[in-house]
Structure 1
Amino acid sequence: MGSGMVTNQRQADNTDFPTLSDKDRAEAIGCLYDVALDPARYEALLDHWESAISPLRARADFAAPRLLDDPQIASHFRRAGEFLDRIALSEDPDEIDAILAPFDRVAALVFDQENCIRAANEAARIRLNLPEKARLGDLSINADDIEAVAATVRLLIHDSDKDSAVLRVRSRVEGHLIVLRLQRHLAADGTPLVIAASNEVAWPEGFCDILRSAFSLSGAEAEVVRHLVDCRSVNEIATQRGRSVDTIRAQIKSILAKTETHSQLELVRLALSVMDMTSLTLKSATGPRVVSGGDGMLKELDFQSLVTPDGRRLDYLVLGDPGGTPVLYLPLDFGLVRWPASAEAEAERRGWRIIVPLRPGYGLSDMVARSTDYDAALTADTIQILQAESVTRCPIICQSGDFYYAVLLARQNPEMISAIIACSGMLPLTRREQFERMDKWHRFILAGAKYTPHLLPFMVKAGFLLARKIGKRGFFHSVFGNSPGDMATFEDAEVFEAIVTGSDTALSDTHCAHEPFSRQLTSGQLGDWSDEVNALRGQLPVVFMSGTQDPQVPLATLQEFQRDYTWIEFHLFEDAGQLAFFRRWRDVLDRLTALIAE
């Protein structure tokens, strides 16, 4: 990188990394494929992962922090991530229909705690011979198995430590085995439900080829998987395929090794999950978005476009007065490119031209190649935009982790940057405790980027798809629910419009910036760049305006920042969190007025 900033993500040469127990590994893999099948299961993965990985962080070297260098875990994360892209995210207004929507080919039911079947798809009614108003006892399976299903439904509804199960039951109609996968689901009104999906499916055309490609299986091995999914015994498979029992057992052993599963049941569950995932497709894009407009309060603004020296499209917005005094605004990795309508109007009244770059991979700004240094591209793009706007010198307003990029810009172009106001700014995290005291969502992502960067892409991709599925309001309430200041800020009508509209550059019906989001976190900002920050001392004003309810940088961490950087000007707001800019923008603009006047 241009300023000499380095990341401390270099890995130790030895392979003696902390690792998960066999039990935690198996449960993590199960949660992983649950999320790949349904991003709404994301928080269950988050909670399990945190309980398993937290003790390992204490044993990892903070200076060279990669832990869990587990090829088995890594390969499952990579594979699940590849299939995650295929998920169709339904926006069906009927909640029960939405629950069943992904199971368009498999027999699927929804049980309530009274053992009533609240809903069943057409496949279930046909293949399981269900009447219109059915109960669990109406299923065409053996009586003993009915009780086993009932007991499992009760367990999933009432035991918060267990949320999924796989059962094998015998059909009364044909006498063959059926695999039922059961999973707890909490309805919007808080009612606990259980989704049950069976394996009675038509084997998708070309699915053997998918298994062969995904797991390096031979054609014969893929056919054995097919028979196992159909619940056939080893003897039955041997007879059907004209092979000896020992040959089939040897093939199953090879399949378990290649798929990194530990039992035939786990293998069947994996195959069924992959089958569901490959049957789903993302909605087709509706065309490029070229205008930023809100719900009525925000002005509709055109994106400006440039072409970079390497031929990429580069977009940006101008808020406020198009001919006014320039101010560079860095919109965070959530792509928050719009301000509340009143704040944009105030910027115009004060005669400010707020220049907002869209970093690579956001909106219609083209993504950089994997071999390209993302930080270097982002800063070069920003300078190109400033030059296109004929800016020779300006202050920066930035949010949270974007203080890192503000420092990069100030170090590389000292003559161009006159001051930095960091709203809820994050300085270099140099203590393990600064990760541990974050709220769980922020810790999950940032500690993941710090300690297990090779697993981060799946975590981020699943989080983005969860936000698309449950909506930005639902996602925000999950992530910021423990910060009353942020919750109150978000529910302000102008703030809500600005955040939801602005973040379309990161996530919309047609766009998902999960890759650049991950690239930013693993490129440099979680290393120790404190020398670069201190190099600005005496060179330009640096002002932090932070909320004490910030779930990422809580008060104890802010106090450490104040002790470590006594020369930085700190303003703390007790009624604000990470969205301090959106809550206290008037204070920010007043401080900016004074800085511009100096």
Structure 2
Amino acid sequence: MRDERPPRARAGGRDELETPSPRDAGDEVAWNVARAEIIERIYDTAVDPLKYEAMVDVWVRTSKVGGVDAAGRVADAALDGRAGTLDRLLDEAGRWSPLVSTEAMVSEVRRNPAWVVARGGAIVAINEAALRLLNGARPRHIADLGYAPEDTGLLSSVVHEVLSARPGRNAVTMRIRRQGSERAEILRVSVARDDAGQRHALVVSSELTWPAGFDEELARVFELTEAEIRIVEALYLGQSAAEIAARRGTALATVRTQIRSVLQKVGAHSQADLVRAVVGLMDASMTAADEAPPARLLPGTLEGDAEGLEPIEFRRLDRPDGRGIDWYEFGDPTGRPVLYMHLDYGLVAWPSPAEAEARRRGLRVIVMVRPGYGRSDPVPRGVDHLEVCAGDYAALCGTLGLDRVAVLCLGADLRFAARLAALVPGLVSGIVGCAAQLPWSKPEHYARMDKWQRFVLANARYAPRALPFIVKAGMHLARRLGRDGFIRLVNAGSPADVALLEDPEVRRAIHRGSVVTLTDSFMADRGFTDEAISSERDWYDILSACPAPVHLLQGDTDPQAPLDVIREIAAGFPGVALEVVPDAGQFLFFKEWRLALDRVEPFLAPRRG
């Protein structure tokens, strides 16, 4: 392939736009405002993953003003030093579901006062802690709880918003004051359902006291000492450093030193950050079940079913660096080999009619579960992800004694196929890419994606430090919404993708295949993060050096790889053939697998017999 790249810094393979220039002094105020808003949305998402879209929308607004590169800088700065804290808060929030019966919710909240509120403000259930707080009185309405009149009105409004199912308002944390008192309480208002499925609001009060057992929680999550925990408690209760010093009879300098130590351990940049983190952790643990569900290892075999899906029996490939990689195959065991690459969604299974067609055509389909997915060990830190994955594919082909294979790949997996073809000359006879991603070179390319895809991939390039949290929070959201709900939300810009969920064969294949990415007890956030960062590094030269012919099938409604961007970039690769498939999106293969197999055929040896 000849070098027909647009004007760019060819020597280093990097675009001058890839690394944003420092912001102008005049942008300082806007930068700080955007940073503060994103930080707030990030903490909201860490406590409640259902608020993920609000975080995305804030980032999108920032990108519209300064570009995706500037928005990436804001996200990176917002996460700087906070990643560990946010990760721990997200893990805590992910342990429990907010949607359980009202009776169970009230009985499970033992340490804090809690009420269940129906539409109109009537209180329909109350726990023992609330009775103790109210000296045995049983309130019938929100107005009977003893809060200041203006705060009672605010609480009524929040309850109404939660019960009205406004987007992003499934759970709300608010401050409130009792009548005649200056002391504030924290209330957590979230959705609960009764046995009939009716929506109610569960209101849990922190009373801004130090919950019993919370010392152990802070020590476990942040590894604080007893003295540091007392500092955190005082700050949480609203005391200043001077007040803490006066009450403890210690020097102000000593207290300030302890505060700095706490900030460092928690990963907070200020006392406000610290209190926000503590409130978030308390918020996540206030409605905790007694025990988290036990962790379960992914099985080595996925069962088949009566409707045509074959069992998946994963085999193990041991690598010299000590890692293990899972793989399996289906189709004709003695047929012509096709290496299938599963996309960052981890879609390792095909629809049952496609599997049957592979057997009929005499295809031996080989699927490697890439590092970080399922039981496959992740790529070690600091090692080139693309090189390791290409090496794993080469090793698998060598182990199976394959000297010639065709590759069928999805999305940005094209880079693995291209690198494999160059790594083992003569091995790859041809590559068919479905809804392929090409090496982006400009911020404008990201700007043309749908917002969800733009948010993840632009941050993979411009804010890689922020990406682990972004990916993990997204997977918690997918777990809450379910696979179908998540796809409908994220791929809403592609009606073709959403419509595919109505096909039971496709739906079953997506659900079954993505078990290597997400289950109730496992998520491949490390693997997905590594893949996203790898895909957004410059791999122009890798595709240019690919010795095998490449045929791309691209849909006209792909939310991640817009057709105009693909056409623009593909023009620089004369060895890449582009075929447009109408009414297809990111999941093109699952709709057009017959076409994909037809395009693979020319790269295969003729069938025997």
2:80 match = 74
TM-superposed CA distance for 1:492, in Å, is 0.8
Matches within 5 A, 1:555-594: 555-594=563-602
The reply to whether residue 516 of structure 1 matches residue 524 of structure 2 is: no
Q: Deviations over 1:313-334 (max 9, x none)?
A: 2210101112211100001111
Task: Mark the CA change 1:353 to 1:440 in structure 2 (over 3 Å): closer, same or farther.
Answer: same
Distance 1:137 1:291 in 2: 57
Of residues 447, 452, 470, the one that matches 2:458 is: 447
Equivalence map 1:190-229=2 (5 Å) = 196-200=203-207, 201-207=211-217, 209=219, 213=223, 220=227, 222-229=229-236
The alpha-carbon distance between structure 1 residues 155 and 545, as it changes in their structure 2 partners (threshold 3 A), is closer
Shift of 1:458: 0.5
Q: Is the 8 A contact 1:327 1:355 kept in 2?
A: yes
Q: Which amino acid in 1 is paired with 2:549?
A: P
Q: Are residue 85 (structure 1) and residue 91 (structure 2) matched? A: yes
Residues 185-237 of structure 1: CA distance to partner in whole angstroms, max 9, x if unpaired?
Answer: 699999998664422332514245358647xxx75453133134345688985
CA distance in 1, matches of 2:490, 2:130: 36
Kindly indicate whether residue 186 of structure 2 is the aligned counterpart of residue 180 of structure 1. yes
Structure 2 residue aligned with 1:283: 293
The counterpart of 1:348, out of the listed 341, 356, 359, is 359
Residue 353 (structure 1) shift: 0.6
Pick which of 218-227 and 308-317 moved more.
218-227
State how far apart, in whole Å, the 2-side matches of 1:13 and 1:47 are.
21
**Equivalent pair of 1:37/1:84 in contact (CA under 8 Å):** yes
In structure 2, C-alpha distance between the alignment counterparts of 1:334 and 1:125, rounded to whole Å: 48
Name stretches of at least 5 consecutive residues in structure 2 with no aligned partner: 1-9
How many residue pairs match? The answer is 581
| Structure 1 position 273 matched with structure 2 position 280 | yes
Task: Provide the rounded CA distance (Å) in 1 between the counterparts of 2:183 and 2:301.
Answer: 55
CA deviations 1:255-277 (Å, max 9, x no partner) are: 8976646666x654431212344
Q: Structure 1 stretch 421-430 or stretch 36-45: which is displaced more?
A: 36-45
Q: 1:92 to 1:450 in 2, by over 3 A?
A: closer
Q: Taking structure 1 as reference, are residues 119 and 481 closer, same or farther at Cα in structure 2, changes over 3 Å only?
A: farther
Residues 548, 467 of structure 1: alpha-carbon distance in 2 compared, 3 angstrom cutoff: same
Task: Give the 3 Å change call, closer, same or farther, for CA 112–565 of structure 1 in structure 2.
Answer: farther
After TM superposition, give the deviation of residue 575 of structure 1 in Å: 1.8
Structure 1 equivalent of residue 443 of structure 2: 432
Matched residue SS, 1:543: strand
Q: Deviations over 1:521-550 (max 9, x none)?
A: 223x223322332333xx432111121111
Q: Is the 8 A contact 2:85 2:277 kept in 1?
A: no
Letter in 2 for 1:50: V
1:44 maps to a residue whose letter is: A
SS in 1 for 2:214: coil
CA–CA separation in structure 1 for the residues paired with 2:197 and 2:453: 25
Q: Does the alignment pair 1:170 with 2:181?
A: no
RMSD of the alignment, in Å?
Answer: 4.0
Q: 1:573 Cα deviation (Å)?
A: 1.7
**Cα 1:119–1:513 shift into 2, 3 Å:** farther
Equivalent-residue separation in structure 2 for 1:88 and 1:144 (angstroms) = 34
Contact kept, 8 Å, 2:89 with 2:280, in 1: the verdict is: no
- Aligned runs of 1:377-526 on 2, under 5 Å? 377-523=388-534, 525-526=535-536
Q: Partners in 2 of 1:25 and 1:192 — Cα distance?
A: 35
**8 Å contact from structure 1 (residues 208, 223) kept in 2:** no
Letter in structure 1 aligned against 2:561: V
Residue type at the aligned position of 1:27: E
Q: CA deviation at 1:555?
A: 2.6
Question: For 1:285-304, what aligned pairs fall within 5 Å after superposition?
Answer: 285-293=295-303, 295-297=305-307, 298-304=309-315
Deviates more, 1:302-311 or 1:351-360: 302-311
Cα distance in 1 between the residues matched to 2:219 and 2:179:
29
2:579 aligned counterpart, secondary structure: strand
Quote how far apart the aligned CAs of 1:247 are. 7.4
Q: Give the superposition deviation at 1:58.
A: 5.8
Show the counterpart of 1:369.
380
After superposition, the Cα gap between the structure-2 partners of 1:556 and 1:113, relative to the gap in structure 1 and judged at 3 Å, is farther
User: Which stretch shifts more, 560-569 or 444-453?
Assistant: 560-569
Q: Classify 1:126/1:470 alpha carbon distance in 2 versus 1 (closer, same or farther; 3 Å).
A: farther
In structure 1, give the amino acid aligned to 2:356.
Answer: A
Return the alpha-carbon distance in structure 2 between the equivalents of residues 361 and 135 of structure 1.
51
One-letter amino acid of the structure 1 residue matched with residue 562 of structure 2: P
Q: Percent identity?
A: 31
1:562 Cα shift? Answer: 4.6
Q: For residues 411 and 27 of structure 1, do their structure 2 counterparts lie closer, same or farther at Cα, with a shift above 3 Å needed?
A: same
* Residues 412/59 of structure 1: CA separation in 2 closer, same or farther (3 Å cut): closer
- Taking structure 2 as the reference length, the TM-score comes to 0.83
Paired letter, 1:273: G
Q: Which amino acid aligns with 1:334?
A: Y
Q: 1:241 matched to which residue of 2?
A: 248
Q: Please give the alpha-carbon distance, in whole angstroms, between the structure 2 residues aligned to 1:564 and 1:314.
A: 35
SS of match in other structure, 2:325: strand
1:98 Cα offset (Å): 8.8
Residue 321 (structure 2) aligns with: 310
The corresponding residue for 2:6 is none
- One-letter amino acid of the counterpart of residue 222, structure 1: I
Separation of aligned partners in 2, 1:440 and 1:212: 34
Greater shift after overlay, 82-91 or 571-580?
Answer: 82-91
Q: CA separation in 1, counterparts of 2:21 and 2:402? A: 49
CA distance in 1, matches of 2:146, 2:578: 68
Cα distance in 1 for partners of 2:380, 2:400 equals 26
- C-alpha deviation, 1:511, in angstroms: 2.1
SS in 2 for 1:453: coil
- Aligned-pair distance for 1:447? 0.7
Does the aligned pair in 2 maintain the 1:107–1:198 contact within 8 Å? yes
Q: 1:420 to 1:588 in 2, by over 3 A?
A: same
Q: Any idea what SS the aligned residue of 1:21 has?
A: helix
Q: Structure 2: which amino acid aligns with 1:26?
A: A
CA distance in 2, matches of 1:520, 1:144: 51
Q: Identify the residue that residue 5 of structure 2 maps to in structure 1.
A: none
Partner Cα distance (2:223, 2:277) in 1: 15
User: TM-score, normalised to structure 1's length?
Assistant: 0.84
Partner Cα separation in structure 2 for residue 52 and residue 194 of structure 1: 33
Whether the 8 Å CA contact 2:72–2:459 is kept in 1: the answer is no
31, 42, 49: which one aligns with 1:39: 49
Matches within 5 A, 1:141-160: 141-150=147-156
Query: In structure 2, do the counterparts of structure 1 residues 565 and 587 end up closer, same or farther at CA, with 3 Å as the change threshold?
Result: same
Give the drift of 1:124. 4.4
Greater Cα shift, 360-369 or 178-187: 178-187
SS in 2 for 1:415: coil
SS in 2 for 1:564: coil
For residue 477 of structure 1, give the secondary structure of its aligned residue in structure 2.
helix
Cα distance between partner residues in 2 of 1:401 and 1:128: 59
Partners of 2:336 and 2:516 lie apart in 1 by: 25
Seen in structure 2, the aligned counterparts of structure 1 residues 101 and 268 have a Cα distance that, compared at 3 Å, is farther
Structure 1 residues 392 and 70, CA, compared in 2 at 3 Å: closer, same or farther?
A: closer
Do the aligned partners of 2:79 and 2:465 also contact (CA within 8 Å) in 1?
Answer: no
